[in-house]
Chains A and B, each alone.
Chain A
Amino acid sequence: MKSLIKRRGPFLIFMMILAYLVSALILLLLHPDPPAGLRSLFLSPFATPMALGNWLNRAVLFMLSGTAVVYAFQGGEFNLGGEGQICLGGLATVIFLLRFPDLWGPAGIILALLLSALLAGVLGGLSGVIKNFTGLSEVITTYLLSMGIIHFSRYFITGPFKDENSYLVTTPEIPLRFQLPGLLPPSHLNISLFFVLLLVLGTYLFLYYRPAGYEWRLCGINGEFASYCGINRKRQTLKTLIVSGGINGLAGSVLILGTSHRGIQDFFSGYGWNGMAVSLIGGNHPLLVIPSALFFSHLVQGAERLNLLGQFTYALDGFIMALIFLVVTSGRLHRD
């Protein structure tokens, strides 16, 4: 474990420093009052307990969607359907809990989580089935399926499940007993923190200490070699895409249960792409998802704060994320 983190850790730190330097540079150039802007960007997530809680909570969600991408990349598959899978998971949770509002709280939560994971897992798995039967790359199919699902979901939120009493385009709130207990009210941080940390740790132990996890990674490192070793690659492809999609579904469900409590239009927006960035800058190592999610959450939170203050209307976090994608897999920066 040490050697792995040693190999990928420096890259992660390098990327973080690069991202902060570039955002500082953009602020220095464009912000009317650079010192105040830098303070908001870097310190606002620590300013109040609420800001701190929201920072951690967003990081928890990024860890979930990041872990979904870790499973995909470690298994040698591209999952570009994160946004749609998170959307499907969240939507399933909302609709299920609004349709069955009389369930016992914990039962409703667990059923909603299972349902979301199942549906998003099937959506991911569909790309695996297509790949296995026709050879068509999952890169195209995960993306197209996800975009289609996102449009369909808008229909449910603006149509049959729209809350007519709200000025937002949203579904009604799920009943209070299905909302995950908060840890640092009034922030959004909630008990999902512990479960997600367990999942991250479990992912690490599974991928690096179980035979099945070894096979999983072998398919990602060298698929042909994995076939020679007798690993059924078609089955592994299917498993990889189902698990990756399922975890994204969980992310969508947790997003509803713990944070937004209702299906606001585009509630899932950005979590999928951020998850991919989180995984990539950590070299797809399951444990490095934690620091890189904290980092991304910090950046997004700081940028949102700048937007809120109205001093700086630029989508700073969007620029930084794009920058990271442009260099993150660079052969000239990676030496392993």
Chain B
Amino acid sequence: MIESLLTLTAPLLLAALGGLYSERAGILNISLEGLMLFSAYAALHVASLTGSLAAGLLGALGASLALTLLFGLSSLVLKNDPFVSGLGINLLAYPMVKTLSKISYGTEGTLRPENLPSCGSLFFPVLALLLTGITYLFLEKTHPGRLIRLCGGSERRLREKGHSPEKVKWLALVMGSLLAGLSGASLSLPLGAFVPGISAGKGWIALVAVYLGGRKPFGILPAMLFFSLFDLWAMNLQHYGRIPTDIVLGLPYFLTLVLTILIHIVKNRDFTIKKW
């Protein structure tokens, strides 16, 4: 029970930490979902090619970085609305995974490569917990972390101090994308398979958890445990066949919505969206 709870929490926690970096730098990064999908695929693909877990992890990080590079080019260099850019990344991840999977495995469906190294079930949960601590230390105690927080707080003051907001935002995006890449890997590697809808909605739930957790690493942790607990309960319902699968799959979205509304009323914190 505790083990499956931790396994469920790890991808969400990693993704939310990734979202936290860009959020603290003042970018609403909705591309998490696309990053997770693409890196989940890349992790599996590279791991089965090389037979090495470490290579799979690197593949996931690379995939996530590549998409983030595009996101940064679009939103920071071309000054596209970051929200629309994020949609673009999410829309890009699907055909990319489809195409690659079709070319390499001849199918667009579930992938279950044979020669996959097995991954200890506690590896990602422990990693996620460690990274929660590291993220806290990085954002609160280091100079680059302070710059990221300043960038999200007041770009003008950052500029007055002689730093370029663009560079700080790039830093936050890259840090975030590494975590999102790990999150993708933690979806597919322990499972030993890739399913097309593997990241369905998880990027959004992660983003919501960033707000629920008060934009703090150790606030995100309990928020995520709660979500996973609900997920576990929903899976049990599905297992016993009391509620049809499709209804169970739809429930997390509504629960997320209700929770977000409740927390929002309590905290009355606005989602800041810049209009172009």
Contact = CB atoms under 8 A, between A and B. Distances in A.
Contacts of A145: 253-254, 257
Nearest to A220: B275
A331 B208 contact: no
A71 interface: no
Contacts of B216: none
A136 to B, nearest CB: 5
B247 A155 contact: yes
A281 to B, nearest CB: 11
- What is the interface of chain A mostly: helix, strand, loop, or mixed? helix
A326 B270 contact: no
B167 interface: no
A313 B102 CA distance: 8
Nearest to A153: B246
A144 B261 CA distance: 12
- What is the interface of chain B mostly: helix, strand, loop, or mixed? helix
Interface in B77-112: 78-81, 83-85, 87-89, 91-92, 94-96, 98-99, 102-103
A8 to B, nearest CB: 14
A314 B208 CA distance: 33
B84 A273 contact: no
Interface residues of B, number: 45
Contacts of B98: 315, 318
B264 interface: yes
Given A148-B254, A159-B244, A140 B83 contact: no
A24 to B, nearest CB: 17
B99 A313 contact: yes
B84 A280 contact: yes
A143 B86 CA distance: 14
| Of A135, A140, A147, most B-chain CB atoms within 10 Å | A140
Contacts, number: 134
A325 B246 contact: no
Given A330-B79, A332-B79, A322 B95 contact: yes
Interface extent on A, as a size class? 35 or more
Contact of B246 (A141, A154, A276, A319): A154
Contact of B204 (A135, A143, A159, A315): A143
A329 B84 contact: yes
Nearest to B103: A313
Interface in B248-264: 249-251, 253-254, 256-257, 260-261, 264
Contact of B88 (A155, A326, A331): A326
A291 to B, nearest CB: 20
Contacts of A80: 87
Interface in B135-153: none
Nearest to A328: B84
Contact of A329 (B80, B96, B264, B273): B80
Contacts of A333: 78
B70 interface: yes
A135 B211 CA distance: 14
Interface in B214-273: 244, 246-247, 249-251, 253-254, 256-257, 260-261, 264-265, 268, 270-271, 273
Contacts of B70: 326
Contacts of B244: 155, 159
Contacts of A280: 84
A78 B83 contact: yes
A154 B197 CA distance: 15
Contacts of B99: 313-315
Contacts of A328: 80, 84
A150 interface: yes
Contact of A136 (B92, B247, B260): B260
B204 A144 contact: yes
B201 interface: yes
A324 B88 CA distance: 7
Nearest to A143: B204
B63 to A, nearest CB: 15
B245 to A, nearest CB: 8
B121 interface: no
Contact of B257 (A148, A150, A155): A148
Interface in A76-115: 76, 78, 80
| Of A151, A323, A334, most B-chain CB atoms within 10 Å | A151
Contacts of B78: 326-327, 330-333
Interface of B: 70, 73-74, 78-81, 83-85, 87-89, 91-92, 94-96, 98-99, 102-103, 201, 204, 208, 244, 246-247, 249-251, 253-254, 256-257, 260-261, 264-265, 268, 270-271, 273, 275-276
23 contacts: A80-B87, A135-B268, A139-B271, A140-B271, A141-B257, A141-B260, A145-B257, A148-B251, A152-B250, A154-B246, A155-B250, A313-B99, A313-B102, A314-B95, A319-B92, A322-B88, A322-B92, A323-B92, A325-B87, A326-B89, A326-B92, A331-B78, A331-B80
